[in-house]
Chains A and B, each alone.
Chain A
Amino acid sequence: MIGMNHFLILSAILFAISIMGIFLNRKNIIVVLMAIELMLLAVNFNFITFSSFLHNIDGQIFVFFTLTVAAAESAIGLAILILLFRNMRGVNVQDMTQLKE
């Protein structure tokens, strides 16, 4: 029988994978954004697991709001990405040092 810990460990694995993804693809901002999406998915997984096993619907409401914020965040992130690409002809994170000068 599948218990709560199975789902929680699965979401922990998902979270760890996305942290690894941020470190591995430091230069590639698109994959970093995708890793953040994956991280939010892991968090949502935790919320839903607890909400389902403890019979409390508030966790699902919170997932609803997390989805909203994540959608807005990714839209703005991609807009910034397009702006960066237009100004710098590339999306290399290492080149983004204009504010230093």
Chain B
Amino acid sequence: MLQTVFFYVFSVILVISALQVILAKNPIHSVLFLILAFVTSSCLWIMLNVEFLALTLILVYVGAVMVLFLFVVMMLDIDIETMRKGFWKNLPLALCLGLVVLAEMVMVLVTKPVVVYQITQTDNSISNSNQLGWMLYTKYSYPVELASVILLLGLVVAVALTLRPSSKNAKYQNIAKQVAVSKTGRIEMVKMQAEKVEVIVDEKVGKDKEVSV
């Protein structure tokens, strides 16, 4: 009973905040409502006995990604009015499409029900984090390494994209310049006179010494 009440409370909050994300005029409000949506869905995940991922959602999304979003939205000077242009014009199409997608998914669920087991409280002997860690570092150890490479990629790309070429310490290739280079730009032919060799006689040594002029 209590579970039902909590489910409906959280899901109503989740749906309303998701609607606010896409309908809010100010992007800052969208970001804040998205944070609310993430927190609410992590509550729902805890109801499904998925504690580790629920906490990861809060740590990774609310703690890192949404703060990044908030930084960017605050830094950029966005003209809200031009952004909202075409909002009402697109509304019928968007509404139709959303309803069609929703109807399709619900029809799949209704017409072909999946075999459902009830959540059992019996497998509490091993915690969720323990099970997840066990799987991650045995069966899925190679994908974990791939995921770390993806994170490294994100780091390098973000730095490489936002580093200004004009800053003093940045070493950048000017690719247009490199492509446009021609033979004449690289090699300069210099006309030089051949060196004359003068022979003088050194008195002391009495030997011929070559001195180039």
Q: A34-B34, A60-B53 provided; 5 other pairs, C-beta below 8 A?
A: A10-B15, A28-B83, A38-B37, A55-B117, A64-B136
State whether the Cβ of B87 lies closer than 8 Å to any Cβ in chain A.
yes
Partner-contacting stretch, out of B149-157, B171-179, B180-188, B197-205: B149-157
Q: How many positions in chain A have a CB within 8 Å of any CB in the partner chain?
A: 71
The reply to whether B22 and A65 form a contact with Cβ atoms under 8 Å apart is no
Once the chains bind, are B158 and A75 in contact (CB under 8 Å)?
yes
A76 at the interface (CB under 8 A from B): yes
Q: Which of the residues B37, B87, B109 comes within 8 Å of A9, measured between beta carbons? A: B109
Chain B, residues 19-56, CB within 8 Å of chain A (1/0): the string is: 10111000100110010011001001100111011001
Report B131-156 residues with CB < 8 Å from chain A CB.
Answer: 131-132, 135-136, 140, 143, 147, 150-151, 153-155
B65 lies within 8 A of A68 (CB): no
Annotate B104-140 by CB proximity to A: 1 below 8 A, 0 otherwise: 0110010001111111100100001001100110001
The A interface is mostly helix, strand or loop, or mixed, namely helix
Give the contacts of A73-87 with B (CB-CB under 8 A): 73-76, 78-83, 85
Check B102–A53 contact: CB distance below 8 A. Answer: no
Q: B85 at the A/B interface (Cβ < 8 Å)?
A: yes
18 residue pairs of the A-B complex, CB under 8 angstroms, read: A8-B105, A14-B15, A17-B18, A27-B86, A38-B37, A41-B41, A53-B118, A57-B132, A58-B135, A64-B132, A69-B147, A73-B154, A75-B65, A79-B162, A82-B162, A85-B76, A92-B82, A92-B83
Bound: A50/B116 CA distance, A:
9
* Most chain B C-beta atoms within 10 Å of own C-beta, residue among A10, A49, A58: A10
Q: In the complex, are the beta carbons of A74 and B69 less than 8 A apart? A: yes
Give the Cβ gap from A43 to chain B, nearest Cβ, in Å. 12
> B131 CB to closest chain A CB, in angstroms?
5
The tally of residues in B whose CB lies under 8 Å from a CB in A reads 84
B79 touches A6 (CB 8 A): no
Contact A19 B105 (CB under 8 A): no
Chain B residue nearest in CB terms to A11: B105
B50 touches A78 (CB 8 A): no
A1 to B2, CA, bound (A): 9
B 59-75 to A, binary, CB cutoff 8 A, 1 in contact else 0: 01100110011001101
Verify A71–B136 contact, CB threshold 8 A: no
Asked if A48 contacts B114 (CB within 8 A), the reply is no
Chain B, Cβ-Cβ closest to A41: B41
Q: In the assembly, what is the distance between CA of A71 and CA of B38, in Å?
A: 14
CB within 8 Å for A31 and B53 given contacts A38-B21, A74-B69: no
- What B residues does A5 contact at CB under 8 A? 109, 113, 116
Question: Which of these, A1, A20, A35, A91, contacts B95 with CB under 8 Å?
Answer: A20
